[in-house]
């Protein structure tokens, strides 16, 4: 997996982007880009400080990179990817921007340029896994009916009042609490408030966590798979209710509010108060847990529940969320540099990556000690026995 002649640019050198840049630099030539001079200094390779996305075009056009990886906060994600595709530079994106990604498909096809979106852990790795087992179920003769993904990154130590720290952009975390959540039920899209339908799950070595609806399906709403499909975010018990109180009080509102002779957005004030408290302290550990439960059946009474669990801890000074998100992106980027994707297709939601890179990605993540463990529970006898 060495590509000494390949040139890669990593746009966004924050919590996750910096490690992506470092990891990719062990495989190929890497240039970092960020709006912050301090962020660029943390990356030991070549870097550029660019105050706005408008300056990306000239840089990408002149340097002619073989691949761009975009790791900017979600609010800047779509515009950044549009700028990259506008120069016909292939791109792997992890920004999880709030807009629908389908307009990127038109541009990618027009430019005949590779574009893979939502390439983190969820969405990202879970989409790849879901798609892989969709195909496996079909080959084995199972009717795939239902899947749910429980996923979250949390600090090892619970500290009142939030019992939470942000392993990625805090502004993107707030999106999980405010953006209406969509899921599939009997093949139809259902929209409910974020933070709704709280349930408890047991996690080995951790104890009880709570899961609530969040808008993580995105492109999976168009997926040719099970007719019942959900993604739920995990937190320590009580966090969802606290965030719901904040939201319903208006503390996450973006509408200007007159306070005395000042006009402020409540979200800006809340963010200024919350985000410092959500910073990890030096040496503080986090973990990422993901559980994918899939159900299928065969004629007769035979049914299967397939469960995929992934538990990852901070390691070697790297936060777990940095590892699981960043290394999924680098695994997909390396798959592209290996030439695993067809030349005549251009736009790839993560579920569309599975056929070409599932084995490669799982093997690569395994080298980083990010392991997905599979268990199966089969009930009933094969149809031939009846």
Number of domain units in the chain: 2
Residues 48, 79: one domain? yes
Residues 214, 259: one domain? yes
Q: Which of the residue ranges 26-35, 120-129, 139-148, 300-309 would you say has the lowest mean pLDDT?
A: 300-309
Predicted confidence (pLDDT) at residue 71 exceeds the cutoff of 60: yes
In a domain, 357, yes or no: yes
Residues 284, 354: one domain? no
Predicted confidence (pLDDT) at residue 383 exceeds the cutoff of 60: no
Measure the CA–CA gap between 241 and 177, rounded to whole angstroms: 11
Residues 299, 243: one domain? yes
Question: Among the three residues 290, 313, 336, which one is the final residue of a domain in this structure?
Answer: 313
In a domain, 383, yes or no: no
Q: Give per-residue pLDDT as tens, 318-358.
A: 999 999 999 999 999 999 999 999 988 899 999 999 999 99
Measure the CA–CA gap between 121 and 20, rounded to whole angstroms: 13
The enclosing domain of 59 has a CATH number of 3.40.50.720
CB 334 within 8 A of CB 364: yes
> Which residue carries 């430019």 as its tokens?
111
Residues 325, 268: one domain? no
In a domain, 379, yes or no: no
Measure the CA–CA gap between 318 and 97, rounded to whole angstroms: 24
In a domain, 386, yes or no: no
Cα distance from N-terminal residue to C-terminal residue, the chain? 51
- What are 13's two structure tokens? 């050198």
Q: What is the mean pLDDT of the segment spanning 85-100? A: 93
Write down the pTM of the prediction. Answer: 0.93
Helix axes 56-63, 74-86, angle to 10 degrees: 40
Residues 274, 203: one domain? yes
Question: Among the three residues 270, 297, 313, which one is the final residue of a domain in this structure?
Answer: 313
Measure the CA–CA gap between 218 and 223, rounded to whole angstroms: 10
Predicted confidence (pLDDT) at residue 385 exceeds the cutoff of 50: no
Q: What is the mean pLDDT of the segment spanning 47-56? A: 88
Predicted confidence (pLDDT) at residue 96 exceeds the cutoff of 90: no
Residues 135, 109: one domain? no
Residues 36, 53: one domain? yes
Q: Give per-residue pLDDT as tens, 361-382.
A: 999 999 999 999 999 999 886 5
Domain extent, residue 151, equals 125-313
Using omega within 30 degrees of 0 as the cis cutoff, is the peptide bond preceding 123 cis?
yes
Q: What is the mean pLDDT of the segment spanning 241-267? A: 94
Count the Cβ atoms, other than its own, within 10 Å of residue 198.
Answer: 17
> How confident is the prediction for the chain on average, in pLDDT?
93
Predicted confidence (pLDDT) at residue 386 exceeds the cutoff of 50: no
In a domain, 269, yes or no: yes
> Which residue carries 């973006």 as its tokens?
254
Three-state helix/strand/coil letters over the chain: CCEEEEEEEEECCCCCHHHHHHHHCCCEEEEEEECCHHHHHHCCCEEEECCCHHHHHHHHHHHCCCEEEECCCHHHHHHHHHHHHHCCCCEEECCCCCCCCHHHHHHHHHHCCCEECCCEECCEHHHHHHHHHHHHHHHHCCEEEEEEEEEEEEECCCCCCCCCCCCCCHHHHHHHHHCCEEEEECCEEEEECCCCCCEEEEECCCEEEEEEECCCCHHHHHCCCCCEEEEEEEECCCHHHHHHHHHHHCCCCCCCEEECCEEECHHHHHHHHHHHHCCCCCCCCEEEEEEEEEEEECCCCCEEEEEEEEEEECECCECHHHHHHHHHHHHHHHHHHCCCCCCCCCEECHHHHHHHHHHHHHHHHHHCCCCCEEEEEEECCCHHHC
Question: Among the three residues 313, 335, 350, which one is the final residue of a domain in this structure?
Answer: 313
Residues 47, 84: one domain? yes
CB 14 within 8 A of CB 39: yes
> Which residue carries 């899947």 as its tokens?
147
The enclosing domain of 309 has a CATH number of 3.30.360.10
Residues 215, 70: one domain? no
Residues 74, 178: one domain? no
Measure the CA–CA gap between 171 and 321, rounded to whole angstroms: 15
In a domain, 382, yes or no: no
Nearest of 351, 354, 350, 368 to residue 310 by alpha carbon: 368
Measure the CA–CA gap between 337 and 356, rounded to whole angstroms: 13
Q: What is the mean pLDDT of the segment spanning 58-86? A: 94
In a domain, 73, yes or no: yes
- What are 175's two structure tokens? 């999106």
Residues 146, 255: one domain? yes
Predicted confidence (pLDDT) at residue 203 exceeds the cutoff of 70: yes
Measure the CA–CA gap between 177 and 316, rounded to whole angstroms: 31
Check residue 382 and give its pLDDT: 57
Given the DSSP bridges, would you call strands 347-348 and 115-116 parallel, antiparallel or unpaired? parallel
In a domain, 195, yes or no: yes
């Amino acid at each position: 997996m060495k590509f000494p002649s390949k040139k890669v640019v990593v746009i966004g050198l924050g919590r996750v982007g910096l490690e992506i840049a470092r990891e990719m630099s062990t495989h190929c030539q890497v240039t970092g880009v960020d709006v912050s001079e301090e962020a660029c200094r943390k990356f030991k390779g070549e870097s550029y400080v660019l105050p706005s996305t408008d300056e990306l075009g000239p840089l990408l056009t002149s340097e002619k990179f073989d691949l761009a990886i975009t790791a900017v906060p979600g609010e800047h994600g779509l515009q950044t990817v549009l700028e990259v595709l506008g120069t016909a530079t292939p791109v792997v994106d992890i920004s999880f921007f709030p807009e629908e990604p389908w307009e990127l498909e038109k541009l990618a096809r027009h430019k005949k340029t590779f574009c893979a979106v939502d390439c983190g852990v969820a969405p990202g790795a879970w989409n790849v896994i879901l798609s892989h087992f969709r195909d496996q179920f079909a080959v084995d003769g199972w009717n795939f009916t239902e899947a749910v993904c429980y996923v979250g990154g949390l600090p090892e130590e619970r500290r009142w009042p939030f019992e939470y720290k942000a392993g990625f952009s805090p502004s993107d975390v707030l999106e999980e609490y405010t953006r209406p959540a969509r899921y599939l039920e009997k093949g139809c899209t259902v929209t409910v408030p974020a933070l709704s339908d709280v349930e408890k799950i047991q996690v080995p070595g951790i104890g009880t966590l709570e899961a609530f609806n969040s808008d993580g399906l995105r492109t999976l709403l168009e997926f040719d798979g099970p007719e019942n499909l959900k993604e739920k975010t995990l937190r320590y018990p009580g966090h969802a209710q606290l965030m719901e109180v904040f939201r319903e009080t208006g503390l996450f509102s973006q509408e200007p509010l007159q306070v005395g002779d000042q006009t402020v957005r409540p979200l800006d004030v809340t963010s200024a108060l919350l985000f410092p408290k959500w910073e990890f302290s030096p040496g503080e550990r986090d973990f990422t847990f993901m559980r994918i439960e899939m159900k299928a059946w065969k004629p007769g009474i035979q049914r299967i529940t397939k469960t995929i669990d992934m538990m990852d801890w901070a390691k070697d000074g790297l936060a777990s969320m940095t590892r699981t998100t960043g290394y999924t992106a680098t695994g997909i980027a390396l798959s592209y540099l290996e030439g695993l994707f067809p030349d005549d297709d251009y736009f790839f939601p993560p579920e569309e990556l599975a056929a070409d890179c599932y084995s490669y990605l799982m093997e690569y993540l395994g080298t980083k000690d990010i392991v997905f463990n599979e268990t199966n529970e089969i009930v009933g006898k094969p149809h031939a026995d009846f």
